[in-house]
Amino acid sequence: MLLAEKGIQKSLLNAINQNKPLFQTNKKPNEMKELSIENKQEYLNEHYPFSEIPNLSDKNRCIHCYEIITVGDFKVFKGDSGFEFICCPNAPECDGTVIDWQPIK
Ligand SMILES: [Zn+2]
């Protein structure tokens, strides 16, 4: 297992421990409805699943499309259950969500 994968597992476990919803969906973003977010920093503050909330200007690597993305370019898609997924800026072509982002150092 890659070190990065261990990091993600740890983040997932933290999310479980904090009773936060898991960002797993078997639906592709293009089957969900995209929401337009007016204040993205505020949205992240309220919906980001992990404790360290990034800044909109932070750069991360999406491990689904392997592109370096700017956090503030995230998209939000709403599933049938009403749950809102923070998705890769390359959605719907990329099905990565916020848990698939790795900080780049
Ligand atoms: Zn992606």
Q: Is 41 left (phi over 0), alpha (psi -120 to 50) or beta?
A: alpha
pLDDT at 98 over 80: yes
pLDDT digits (tens, 9 = 90+) for 25-64: 555 655 789 999 999 999 999 999 999 999 999 999 999 9
Does residue 65 contact residue 95 with C-beta atoms inside 8 Å? no
| DSSP one-letter string for 2-47 | -HHHHHHHHHHHHHHHTTPPP---SS-GGGSEEEP-S-HHHHHHHH
φ, ψ of residue 34 in degrees (nearest 5): -80, 135
pLDDT tens, 4-13?
A: 565 655 655 5
Q: What is the pLDDT of residue 105?
A: 72
Instruction: Return the pLDDT at 87.
Output: 97
* Mean of all residue pLDDT scores within the chain: 84
pLDDT for the residue numbered 31: 73
Q: How far is the CA of 17 from the centre of ligand 1 (A)?
A: 26
Are the C-beta atoms of residues 74 and 87 closer than 8 Å to each other? yes
Ligand 1 centre and the CA of 93: distance in Å?
A: 8
Show Cβ contacts of residue 28 under 8 Å, excluding neighbours closer than 6 positions: 92, 95
Distance 29 CA to ligand 1 centre (A): 11
